[in-house]
Chains A and B, each alone.
Chain A
Amino acid sequence: MQRKFDPIMSSATMPTTTQLTTLRAPLQRAKVGMASLIFMESAFFAAFLVTYLYYIGKSPNGPQPIDCLELGPVLVNSVCLIASSFTVMLAVKSLARGSISGFRAWMLVTVLLGLEFLVGTGIEWRSLMIDKGLTIQSNAFGTNYYALVGFHAFHVTLGLLMLMGTLVLSLFGCINPRRDHVRVDILTWYWHFVDVVWIFVFMLVYVIGRVPQGGAL
């Protein structure tokens, strides 16, 4: 007896409940998969955050956070990044409503805001390295600063590439609002996650971490 797999035949013989599960399953597992990925990335960032916390105030020599870090530019960057979470939400809402042009517009705004954050971080790093003389080799502060902020920026880059990919796909007409809006929604979870991590990084590096040498903690 030969057995050949014929998906159409076998699904026709399946009970109705099974059919429903198989139809619903892909989205469900995509959600679980993305949630697990975010859970894993949280553990990854937790290690860097805890390490940063541990080294606050433990750099007796070299440039100090209070002298190097300026709040002005980074606040602009932060506002852009947090705002991009809302614009990406609006993009997904447009897609769910079936408005592909609204989706493209909000997605473009999101990508631009994300790019601003990356460029802003680059400008900040340039000034830190050239004007303030802070490098990864300077002291524990420099090491942790570049590692933590750099890893966050790396994740912003990854998220941005995914969003840009989606935008390009939608420009070529490959995004079908009815079929894809849940997928795109799941993809944006990652972007929200990157934003939430930034809130932690910002609080740790620019608020708590700017205590003077020998200060609290």
Chain B
Amino acid sequence: MNTSIAANEGAHAGGEGPLSFWESAMRWTLSVDHKKLGIMYICAGMVFFLIGGLEAALMRLQLARANAGIIDPETFNQLFTMHGTTMVFLVGMPVLLGFGNFLIPLMVGARDMAFPRLNAFGFWLFIFGGLLLYFSYIGSEGLYGAPGAPDVGWFAYAPLTSRTFSRGNSTDYWILGIMVSGFGSMTTAINFIATVLCMRCPGMKLMRMPMIAWMMLVVAALVLVAVPVLTAAQVMLLLDRSLGAHFFDPQTQGSAVLWQHLFWFFGHPEVYILVLPAFGFVSEILPVFSRKAIFGYSLMVAATVGIGFIALGVWAHHMFVVGMGPVLDSFFAASTFLISVPTGIKIFNWLGTMWGGRLRFATPMLFVTGFVAMFIIGGLTGIMLATVPMDWQLSDSYFVVGHFHYVLFGGTVFGIFAAIFYWFPKATGRMLNEHLGKWCFWLLFIGFTMTFMPMHISGILGMPRRIYTYEADRGFEIWNLISSIGVPVQMAGVLCFLWNVVKSLRNGAIAGDDPWDAWTLEWSTSSPPPEWNFDRIPTCTSARPLWDKKHPEDPDAHYE
């Protein structure tokens, strides 16, 4: 178990010295190993994260001053469409699914996923879906002489997507790129469910699983319900655009509102698909750095499953301004308030875990604490937006943009960074640099607050989202300027992170099997784990198998 790094690397190379670039590239490309696929998911997601981030930076550059003319309106439309689509489908989904891939088998004590080849298939679908979407920049001109990337917004409302208003093929690239990567997500979800339900090691009952395994199970179920509905809607849109069908064109008895229902039936569960894995990261990292078992494990599981169910019944709170009538408005407002109950339970359980613990503020813990604080703010503005009259006032304003960036950046992205800092030693055998890590956290945290906090104010003042410029003397200028200044600060944070990764891969401190003194099974094998994960399939006696192993005099099993 205490195999040194050198021996491990030797084992990977088959003891024949280092691999050539070509050999190792082939080894990664042809791999069906869940750990390699997980790492490739995360790396590809981070590349798209940089691209999506640059798109956002260009938009903030344009919006820094009133009446700026750096970017023309058409390009601006493409930028916010590609930014949103990239961040949701090509960053959030793959990075989180990548962590699921890397962690689930290790955490439940299995040697691989249930269907390793299906797993590789899903990954390559995602990659090619992403490339197809970005190919639109050069390929969408078609026969119509209307080049450019998709420009219909990430939720692509009808009838903006009809042939009349969206010429060329850009919208078709949006449909097909997302559809292909969506098929990848669905195959991965099937894999997660089969792995969690069938591949657990002896003794690992459902109620002893690490929280991440629970969260990923619920996420996978949500993917299986939500993503097919988006795919169906996209098929209909494709039929509209290619064969002249009448699903969404109001001029020919189609219904534009139907698209909104179908899209948001996918779109809102998608939000929980993006945030539940981050909840999982927090639920794993917070106890380890508080030196306490998680507070209220079973309640946490119940809250997760509860969120999964309620998440399927809140979608139309995105549509209050459509005019659905008081009955539907009240129903969806009520269900949205309801979902804040299990979410609140989680927050209090995390606080309960920290309470009275011996807190160690290493970088993962900093990001996790940042996550909890920022997610609470995002959650509270979410409750404001669930209030129908308030939503009528604030819908499609920068307030909404601020709200969901608090949830998806302050929430999901902080969670992802926490997870990277926490599991990097396991994946590579080397620690990330703590000093640079703290710089990364504080720069990101300050830059994030500078960028997104003022958006709430400019939104309340009436600034609509998705405008490419605004008039002077409406009170928007100072808030937009602060927002834009936050961008380089965040970029510095991201650069710190990238430099940290490069530096630590070369000469970071050797991690050892269990650098954080943690309690879940992935820390019982070597870092990086061998291809078969465990020499002997581990057995599990409680929710913290490694604690039991380290403290035979006082095992958790006594308290279950």
Instruction: Give the nearest-CB partner of B118 in chain A.
Output: A33
B537 touches A14 (CB 8 A): yes
* B517 part of interface (Cβ distance < 8 Å): no
Instruction: Supply 22 A–B pairs (Cβ within 8 Å), ascending by A.
Output: A2-B7, A3-B11, A3-B535, A5-B532, A22-B537, A29-B114, A36-B189, A36-B193, A36-B220, A41-B228, A43-B225, A43-B229, A44-B229, A46-B229, A47-B262, A51-B258, A51-B262, A55-B255, A59-B253, A60-B253, A136-B243, A136-B245
Instruction: Give the nearest-CB partner of B232 in chain A.
Output: A47
Best-surrounded residue of A2, A3, A58, A144 (most CB of chain B within 10 A): A3
B530 touches A140 (CB 8 A): no
In the docked arrangement, what's the CA distance between A5 and B10, Å? 13
A29 CB contacts on chain B under 8 angstroms = 114-115, 194-195, 197-199
Instruction: Give the nearest-CB partner of A150 in chain B.
Output: B239
Question: 1/0 per residue A1-21: CB within 8 Å of B?
Answer: 111110000100111011001
CB distance from A196 to the nearest CB of B (A): 16
Question: 1/0 per residue B6-29: CB within 8 Å of A?
Answer: 011011000100000000000000
A137 touches B255 (CB 8 A): no
In the docked arrangement, what's the CA distance between A139 and B265, Å? 25
Instruction: Give the nearest-CB partner of B534 in chain A.
Output: A10
From B231, B265, B531, B535, contact of A10 by CB (8 A)? B535
In the docked arrangement, what's the CA distance between A14 and B252, Å? 66
Instruction: Give the nearest-CB partner of A13 in chain B.
Output: B536
B253 touches A58 (CB 8 A): yes
Question: 1/0 per residue A160-178: CB within 8 Å of B?
Answer: 0000000000000000000
CB distance from A147 to the nearest CB of B (A): 6
* B236 part of interface (Cβ distance < 8 Å): yes
From A15, A28, A40, A54, contact of B198 by CB (8 A)? A28
A39 CB contacts on chain B under 8 angstroms = 224-225
CB distance from A56 to the nearest CB of B (A): 12
B195 CB contacts on chain A under 8 angstroms = 29
B194 touches A21 (CB 8 A): no
* A79 part of interface (Cβ distance < 8 Å): no
In the docked arrangement, what's the CA distance between A47 and B195, Å? 28
* B306 part of interface (Cβ distance < 8 Å): no
In the docked arrangement, what's the CA distance between A22 and B501, Å? 37
B246 CB contacts on chain A under 8 angstroms = 137, 139-140, 143
A4 touches B536 (CB 8 A): no
* A32 part of interface (Cβ distance < 8 Å): yes
From B3, B198, B255, B537, contact of A32 by CB (8 A)? B198
* A37 part of interface (Cβ distance < 8 Å): yes
A17 CB contacts on chain B under 8 angstroms = 202
In the docked arrangement, what's the CA distance between A59 and B255, Å? 12
In the docked arrangement, what's the CA distance between A39 and B244, Å? 30
B247 CB contacts on chain A under 8 angstroms = 51, 143-144, 147
Instruction: Give the nearest-CB partner of A3 in chain B.
Output: B11
* A48 part of interface (Cβ distance < 8 Å): yes
* B84 part of interface (Cβ distance < 8 Å): no
Q: Which 8 A-B pairs have the closest CB atoms?
A: A47-B232, A44-B228, A29-B198, A29-B114, A143-B245, A43-B228, A137-B244, A36-B190
Instruction: Give the nearest-CB partner of A21 in chain B.
Output: B202
**Size bracket of the A interface:** 35 or more
A44 CB contacts on chain B under 8 angstroms = 228-229, 231-232
Question: 1/0 per residue B237-277: CB within 8 Å of A?
Answer: 00100011111000011110010001001000000000000
In the docked arrangement, what's the CA distance between A33 and B243, Å? 34
Instruction: Give the nearest-CB partner of B255 in chain A.
Output: A54
Task: Tell me whether A3 and B190 are in contact in the complex, defined as CB-CB below 8 angstroms, given that A17-B202, A136-B243 are known contacts.
Answer: no
CB distance from B33 to the nearest CB of A (A): 12
A48 CB contacts on chain B under 8 angstroms = 232
A47 touches B114 (CB 8 A): no
In the docked arrangement, what's the CA distance between A102 and B80, Å? 61
* B186 part of interface (Cβ distance < 8 Å): yes
In the docked arrangement, what's the CA distance between A151 and B239, Å? 12
From A37, A51, A151, contact of B190 by CB (8 A)? A37
Task: Tell me whether A47 and B202 are in contact in the complex, defined as CB-CB below 8 angstroms, given that A2-B11, A59-B253 are known contacts.
Answer: no
B224 CB contacts on chain A under 8 angstroms = 36, 39-40, 43
Instruction: Give the nearest-CB partner of B195 in chain A.
Output: A29
A40 touches B253 (CB 8 A): no
In the docked arrangement, what's the CA distance between A14 and B235, Å? 49
Task: Tell me whether A51 and B535 are in contact in the complex, defined as CB-CB below 8 angstroms, given that A32-B198, A36-B189 are known contacts.
Answer: no
B114 CB contacts on chain A under 8 angstroms = 29, 32-33
B239 touches A143 (CB 8 A): yes
CB distance from A106 to the nearest CB of B (A): 29
B190 CB contacts on chain A under 8 angstroms = 33, 36-37, 40
Beyond contacts A28-B198, A137-B246, A140-B252: 13 other A-B pairs, Cβ-Cβ < 8 A, are A2-B11, A2-B15, A3-B7, A5-B532, A18-B201, A29-B198, A32-B193, A33-B118, A33-B194, A36-B190, A40-B189, A143-B247, A147-B247
In the docked arrangement, what's the CA distance between A144 and B243, Å? 13
* B233 part of interface (Cβ distance < 8 Å): yes
A137 touches B243 (CB 8 A): yes
B535 touches A147 (CB 8 A): no
* A25 part of interface (Cβ distance < 8 Å): yes
Question: 1/0 per residue B172-204: CB within 8 Å of A?
Answer: 000000000000001001110111011101100
Task: Tell me whether A3 and B253 are in contact in the complex, defined as CB-CB below 8 angstroms, given that A13-B536, A41-B228, A136-B244 are known contacts.
Answer: no
Instruction: Give the nearest-CB partner of A28 in chain B.
Output: B198
Instruction: Give the nearest-CB partner of B535 in chain A.
Output: A10
In the docked arrangement, what's the CA distance between A155 and B10, Å? 48
In the docked arrangement, what's the CA distance between A139 and B249, Å? 11
A33 touches B7 (CB 8 A): no
A147 touches B239 (CB 8 A): yes
In the docked arrangement, what's the CA distance between A181 and B258, Å? 44
From A13, A37, A54, contact of B258 by CB (8 A)? A54
Instruction: Give the nearest-CB partner of A35 in chain B.
Output: B193
User: For window 197-227 of chain B, which residues contact chain A by CB distance below 8 Å?
Assistant: 197-199, 201-202, 220, 224-227
CB distance from B139 to the nearest CB of A (A): 26
A25 CB contacts on chain B under 8 angstroms = 198-199
Instruction: Give the nearest-CB partner of B197 in chain A.
Output: A32
Best-surrounded residue of B8, B189, B220, B253 (most CB of chain A within 10 A): B253
A1 CB contacts on chain B under 8 angstroms = 3, 7
B254 touches A140 (CB 8 A): yes
CB distance from B119 to the nearest CB of A (A): 12
Task: Tell me whether A10 and B11 are in contact in the complex, defined as CB-CB below 8 angstroms, given that A3-B530, A33-B194, A43-B225 are known contacts.
Answer: no
CB distance from B117 to the nearest CB of A (A): 12
